[in-house]
Structure 1
Amino acid sequence: MKSVRLKRERREARSAGTRSRTDRKRTATAASDQTPRRQQRLENKRIAIFDAALELFARYGLHGTTVDQIAEAADVSKTNLFYYFPTKEDVYVAALQNLLTEWLAPMLALDVEGDPIKSLSDYIRRKMEFSRKYPEASRLFCIEIVQGAPLLGKELRTSLKRLVSEKAAVIQAWIDAGKIAPVDPYHLIFSIWSTTQHYADFSAQVHAILEKRLTDKAFFEEATLNVQRIILSGIKIRSS
């Protein structure tokens, strides 16, 4: 009898162990299935906070914008907002850093092996597209720079400076190869920035004079072609 009881207990133990392992696998699978969805929800909320903050900061500045305004515009609670960003300043810096990454993306395409006129023409168009799609973001960046870049200074002196120096070297290589006229590469880059961003940062002025905005497709094309013509005509090689 004792032998039979021991065998039965061993079978029950093995059965319990099997159920336990199966339950753990099911739990792990469920958690694994939920993780991507949860991450997507978190990312969606983060994007909503970014979008709301960009618009408010561009309109009212850092000090004129409240946490309550950001939370309401992003449709999240203040507690939920603080889960992502401990302070309003953290939201501001994160938004600016994200903006700087997007703002610099078009410049990455400039390559010494590319045709300089086409490359710079495409770069101008992409900068104009950024001004059309993200005017609030462009104005926020402008505000930060005008104020002396108190919260973005480190990024400007490091990542921005490195990338601009790298692309200035590409432009200089085109000049040395006789592909474009000799101009200072940095001033060429600054000219492209200031001209293309004008249509976002000073859109109210443009609209007051022309009663048009970049959201008007015909005006966008007209403005883009004129900016390309003005800038590129200054660097094309002229036959003697």
Structure 2
Amino acid sequence: MKFTNEQWAEACDFLGSLGLDASLLNAASFRSELERYLGLLLKKNEELNLTSLRDPHVAFWKHIVDSLTILQWEPMGAVIDWGSGGGLPGIPLALARREKGDSTPVHFLDSVGKKLRAIEEFGNELQLKNSQYLNGRGEDFLKAGKLAKVDAIVMRAVAPAERAVEWLNRSVPRWIFLLGPQQLELWKAQQKRARTKGFQFGNQAEFNLPHDHGQRVLLELIRI
């Protein structure tokens, strides 16, 4: 799967408008790995429901570029991609780190075994050698103390705010949510509950993906 130089340049300009150093997208090796990953994802999607998107050009913006917006909050340390589904945003993040020579790990957690096996298959194909693949419920891993060495948990459209807020656990100091339209307001309604769990709102970012691909929100909760 290949995208044009014009598409990559537009993505670079968009990410730059968010304050990222988007020069990473100028690297042919990084572009190639992202294209390879998206090809693997869409191919696997023919037999396993990993994404509702079938059009690679839509998936480029709504999966790849959307996931890369999280780079504006690096460094995040060791990350768990909770409810990773098809490997988003974790695989683009891991590929970006590798391109920059950063060996800090990105791990993947999903309660659905067949989805996690697909992510591990992608990781092996892409040679993500420092990633772990955890099958189970994230809250169970937290209660068992198995995520104590994680610096940040990242979730992309995993659960509604009133459910996700109950997962907050002070053993992980930073929680980052990639949200869709109107979801920030739902999280604001949970702000008091988040404080009782020992967290406060940190950084927030709102933006619109190009070509009318939707509004997005990044929300950070940090341990008090």
Q: Identify, as 1 or 2, the structure richer in helix.
A: 1
Q: Which has the larger radius of gyration?
A: 1
Higher strand share: 2
- Normalised TM-score (structure 2): 0.28
